[in-house]
Structure 1
Amino acid sequence: WRHLKYRWRCFATWTKKTIDAELADLLAGYGIKYQVSFS
């Protein structure tokens, strides 16, 4: 949580390109790394 908070604080200094790359990376990794089962 602390790490995430730190990343969001840096968010304002990122360029749009960086944000897009980070979001794409996050979303790509979301399905694999943070897979949640609702079964």
Structure 2
Amino acid sequence: GVLVAWTGSAYPDLIIGILVSLFVLNGARKILALK
């Protein structure tokens, strides 16, 4: 991603990826809980 090129490290993209995954999973869990 852009942050890897900017910082020279894969960690920012990794952290963002994990946060996005948690957000998506949390949203999916709420949607499933409503059904």
- For normalisation by structure 1, the TM-score amounts to 0.47
The structure richer in helix per residue is: 2
Percentage identity across aligned positions? 9
Residues 1-39 of structure 1 mapped to structure 2, 5 A cutoff: 13=1, 15-33=13-31, 35=32
Count of aligned residue pairs for this structure pair: 24
- For normalisation by structure 2, the TM-score amounts to 0.51
Compare relative contact order (CA 8 Å, sep 6+) and give the higher one, 1 or 2. Answer: 2
Larger radius of gyration: 2
Runs of 4+ with >6 A deviation: none
